[in-house]
């Protein structure tokens, strides 16, 4: 709800601060007093075009500040601002500020955070509804008619949204499977050849490392064979070093008792025999491990080179060739089974589509029923508003399948005809300014303000009517303001008498400067203003008495 409006240097307004409450607030004044300036000022904070012509003559810039109640957490406006990185403090009012320079530049802020005019327009549509002869938003815009009808019907779209999501997921799954199948069919020859080639080669995980290690070891063996044989020859045979040590040990054993040094010599030779035996065993083991087999080396090198060549061909690491073979086998199998898989996915798609249609048709049934109820409710409001020759109809028609969405299969639009026998046409293209405002009022009352902003402005909704019709308009505005905030610019005393608050817009001038000001009226001044509206410039006692009767009758 709009709490206050502060205006500085807008056309004829030098400085103006207004505070608003809930209920119905009426704004009155002489023609040309500046009511449109007030709405233009508010429009700036709602994202209207920043025209340098709005800047008061002699001023460098104009500025308007609108203060709104703190947006409830999770509300449409709160979510929208948060999505656009505008920080909100819990419980703090929402402050929108817009300035326009005389040279045409403009700036906009939400809670002191800079923003674009486009953001203001989107935020403004969630804060205030402005209904008047030049308004092209709100109830006139058919893009919002479906949502209004759904709220009037109390329709729950969850089933349709869920069914639509499942349908689209099934459609995507089938499309992906078809693309994969087509790609696989194109690759059939490649897959068959590659699977046969890799299956025949039978790569093993870790094989490259094992082959490379064995090859390196065998190549070392080729290099060390000569040295190993020469070393081993010093150990082998009856003339070898180990045999000589053993012979010396046997002979020394027979005489070792003759002298202590001989015993020590024998012990040393025995140790040497043991160490030499261990050295011979290690040499034999090394010779076995480093055995050079030219044929085996050639076989290993051939397989290692083929393994690496296959890895390069298929652009994978050698250790992944075995897993890659499994992938190719799976893709090849999918080609054979592809038809059956596609049939299953297509069956799932048809079932999901059928479930969506069922949910959407159930929603349409609710919409059609609600449309008839809305048409009847609006028709009941038209005659008292001097629109008894008009017809109102809520169009519910099926969209082409390409346009079906999470909101169902229907297009909804409010249509009217203002003259007997004239065809129905869109709301904004038929009615004149005054008629349009009254149609909107009838709709708002019939819809019980479903989906609307908490602040609503009607600009001259009573244009061209008076008497009983103006009284009917006032009664409906008062009813609509219950639990909301209505600001109504009016020339009708019947409407003005219904206000919970009354603001008088005055224009004054001296020899050089004209000014527009707004005054909140107390009871006496309000009586005087309504009397003026009844009688004109010369307020008579009879007009004051009539004003009293109007005020007493509400």
Structural contact between residues 409 and 432, judged by C-beta atoms closer than 8 angstroms: no
Mean pLDDT of the 459-484 span: 83
- Cα–Cα distance measured from residue 94 to residue 88, given in angstroms and rounded to the nearest whole number: 8
Could you tell me whether strands 455-459 and 485-489 are parallel, antiparallel, or unpaired per DSSP bridges? parallel
- For residue 209, what pLDDT band results from cuts at 50, 70 and 90? confident
Question: Is 467 domain-assigned?
Answer: no
Structural contact between residues 4 and 56, judged by C-beta atoms closer than 8 angstroms: no
C-alpha separations of 524 from 315, 453, 516, 532 in Å: 93, 32, 22, 13
Mean pLDDT of the 474-488 span: 87
Question: Is 341 domain-assigned?
Answer: no
Confidence (pLDDT) at 233: 62
Q: Which two tokens stand for residue 25?
A: 């607030």
CA–CA–CA angle 401, 404, 408 (5° rounding): 130
- The answer to whether residue 182 scores a pLDDT higher than 60 is yes
Beta strand segments in 29-116, E = 61-68, 94-101, 106-110, 113-115
- Cα–Cα distance measured from residue 456 to residue 484, given in angstroms and rounded to the nearest whole number: 8
C-alpha separations of 393 from 223, 374, 480, 494 in Å: 101, 8, 22, 29
List of residues 6+ apart from 8 with CB closer than 8 A? 14, 15, 16, 62, 63, 64
- The answer to whether residue 227 scores a pLDDT higher than 50 is yes
Structural contact between residues 117 and 105, judged by C-beta atoms closer than 8 angstroms: no
- The answer to whether residue 19 scores a pLDDT higher than 70 is yes
Confidence (pLDDT) at 470: 84
- Cα–Cα distance measured from residue 501 to residue 485, given in angstroms and rounded to the nearest whole number: 11
- Cα–Cα distance measured from residue 325 to residue 14, given in angstroms and rounded to the nearest whole number: 83
Question: Is 320 domain-assigned?
Answer: yes
For 10, phi then psi, to 5°, come to -105, 110
Structural contact between residues 410 and 145, judged by C-beta atoms closer than 8 angstroms: no
Question: Is 315 domain-assigned?
Answer: yes
Q: Which domain holds residue 318?
A: 188-334
Structural contact between residues 477 and 507, judged by C-beta atoms closer than 8 angstroms: no
Confidence (pLDDT) at 49: 86
How many whole angstroms from its chain centre is CA 62?
35
- For 331-355, how does the pLDDT look when each residue is reduced to its tens digit (9 = 90+)? 787 776 656 778 889 999 999 999 9
Which residue from 529, 514, 522 is spatially nearest to 56, judged by alpha carbons?
Answer: 514
Which residue from 416, 411, 427, 425 is spatially nearest to 364, judged by alpha carbons?
Answer: 411
- Cα–Cα distance measured from residue 52 to residue 46, given in angstroms and rounded to the nearest whole number: 16
Query: For the chain, what is the mean pLDDT?
Result: 84
How many whole angstroms from its chain centre is CA 352?
25
C-alpha separations of 298 from 200, 209, 212, 214, 218 in Å: 20, 17, 12, 12, 11
Q: Name the percent of the chain lying above pLDDT 70.
A: 89
- Cα–Cα distance measured from residue 321 to residue 154, given in angstroms and rounded to the nearest whole number: 61
- How many distinct helices (H) and strands (E) make up the chain? 17, 15
- Cα–Cα distance measured from residue 169 to residue 446, given in angstroms and rounded to the nearest whole number: 39
Question: Is 295 domain-assigned?
Answer: yes
Confidence (pLDDT) at 212: 81
Give 92-114 as a 3 state SS string: CCEEEEEEEECCCCEEEEECCEE
- The answer to whether residue 171 scores a pLDDT higher than 90 is yes
- For residue 105, what pLDDT band results from cuts at 50, 70 and 90? confident
- The answer to whether residue 140 scores a pLDDT higher than 50 is yes
Domain count, the chain: 1
Q: Which two tokens stand for residue 122?
A: 């989107």
Provide the 8-state DSSP code for 405: B
| Cβ count within 10 A of residue 148 | 20
SS3 158: helix
Confidence (pLDDT) at 420: 82
Confidence (pLDDT) at 225: 62
Q: Which residue has the higher pLDDT, 545 or 74?
A: 545
- Cα–Cα distance measured from residue 174 to residue 192, given in angstroms and rounded to the nearest whole number: 25
Confidence (pLDDT) at 136: 46
Length, in residues, of the chain: 554
Instruction: Give the torsion through C-alpha atoms of 433, 434, 436, 442, to 10 deg.
Output: 160
Q: Which residue has the higher pLDDT, 263 or 404?
A: 404
List of residues 6+ apart from 553 with CB closer than 8 A? 497
Mean pLDDT of the 306-313 span: 90
CA–CA–CA angle 374, 379, 384 (5° rounding): 135
Question: Is 197 domain-assigned?
Answer: yes
- Cα–Cα distance measured from residue 250 to residue 245, given in angstroms and rounded to the nearest whole number: 9
Lowest mean pLDDT among 116-125, 224-233, 308-317: 224-233
- Cα–Cα distance measured from residue 94 to residue 96, given in angstroms and rounded to the nearest whole number: 7
- The answer to whether residue 167 scores a pLDDT higher than 70 is yes
Question: Is 339 domain-assigned?
Answer: no
Full DSSP string of 178-236: HHHHHHHHHTHHHHHHHHHHHHHH---TTHHHHHHHHHHHHHHHHHHHHHHHHHHHTTS
Q: Which residue has the higher pLDDT, 318 or 433?
A: 318
Q: Which of 145-149, 169-173, 420-424, 455-459 is the most confident on average? A: 169-173
Which residue from 159, 171, 172, 169 is spatially nearest to 356, judged by alpha carbons?
Answer: 159
List of residues 6+ apart from 251 with CB closer than 8 A? none
Question: Is 395 domain-assigned?
Answer: no
- The answer to whether residue 363 scores a pLDDT higher than 90 is yes
- For 44-78, how does the pLDDT look when each residue is reduced to its tens digit (9 = 90+)? 998 888 888 888 888 899 999 999 999 888 888 88
């Amino acid at each position: 709800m709009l709490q206050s409006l502060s205006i500085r240097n807008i056309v004829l307004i030098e400085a103006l601060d207004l505070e608003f409450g809930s209920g119905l607030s009426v704004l009155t004044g002489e023609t040309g007093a500046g009511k449109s300036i007030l709405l233009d000022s508010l429009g700036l904070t709602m994202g209207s075009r920043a025209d340098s012509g709005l800047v008061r003559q002699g001023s460098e810039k104009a500025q308007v500040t609108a203060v709104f109640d703190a947006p409830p957490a999770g509300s449409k406006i709160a979510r929208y601002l948060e999505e656009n990185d505008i920080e909100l403090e819990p419980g703090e009012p929402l402050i929108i500020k817009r300035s326009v320079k005389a040279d045409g530049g403009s700036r906009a802020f939400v809670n002191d955070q800079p923003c674009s005019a486009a953001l203001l327009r989107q935020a403004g549509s969630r804060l205030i509804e402005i209904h008047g002869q030049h308004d092209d938003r709100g109830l006139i815009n058919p893009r919002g008619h479906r949502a209004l009808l759904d709220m009037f019907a109390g329709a729950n779209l969850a089933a349709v949204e869920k069914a639509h999501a499942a349908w689209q997921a099934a459609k995507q799954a089938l499309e992906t499977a078809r693309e994969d199948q087509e790609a696989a069919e194109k690759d059939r020859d490649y897959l068959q050849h590659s699977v046969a080639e890799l299956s025949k080669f039978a790569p093993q995980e870790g094989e490259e490392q094992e082959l490379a290690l064995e090859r390196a070891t065998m190549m070392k063996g080729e290099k060390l064979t000569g040295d190993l044989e020469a070393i081993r020859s010093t150990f082998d045979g009856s003339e070898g070093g180990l045999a000589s040590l053993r012979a010396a040990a046997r002979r020394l054993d027979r005489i070792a008792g003759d002298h202590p040094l001989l015993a020590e010599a024998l012990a040393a030779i025995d140790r040497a025999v043991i160490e030499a035996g261990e050295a011979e065993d290690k040499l034999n083991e090394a010779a076995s491990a480093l055995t050079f087999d030219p044929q085996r080396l050639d076989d290993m090198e051939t397989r290692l080179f083929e393994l690496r060549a296959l890895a390069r061909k298929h652009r994978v690491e050698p250790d992944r060739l075995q897993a890659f073979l499994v992938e190719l086998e799976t893709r090849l199998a999918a080609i054979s089974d592809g038809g059956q898989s596609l049939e299953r996915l297509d069956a799932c798609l048809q079932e999901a589509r059928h479930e969506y249609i069922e949910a959407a048709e159930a929603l349409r049934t609710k919409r059609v029923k609600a449309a008839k109820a809305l048409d009847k409710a609006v028709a009941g409001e038209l005659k008292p508003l001097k629109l008894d020759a008009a017809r109102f109809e809520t169009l519910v028609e099926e969209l082409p399948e390409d346009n079906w969405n999470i909101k169902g299969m229907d297009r909804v639009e409010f249509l009217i005809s203002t003259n007997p026998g004239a065809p129905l046409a869109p709301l904004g293209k038929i009615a004149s300014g005054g008629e349009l405002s009254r149609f909107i009022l009838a709709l708002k009352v019939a819809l019980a303000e479903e989906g609307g902003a908490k602040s609503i402005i009607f600009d001259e909704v009573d244009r061209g009517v008076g008497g009983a019709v103006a009284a009917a308009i006032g009664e409906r505005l008062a009813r609509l303001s219950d639990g909301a905030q209505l600001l109504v610019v009016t020339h009708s005393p019947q409407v003005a008498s219904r206000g919970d608050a009354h603001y008088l817009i005055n224009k004054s001038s001296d020899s050089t400067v004209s000014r527009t000001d707004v005054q909140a009226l107390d009871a006496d001044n309000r009586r005087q203003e309504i009397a003026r509206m009844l009688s004109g410039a010369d307020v008579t006692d009879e007009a004051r008495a009539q004003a009293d009767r109007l005020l007493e009758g509400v």
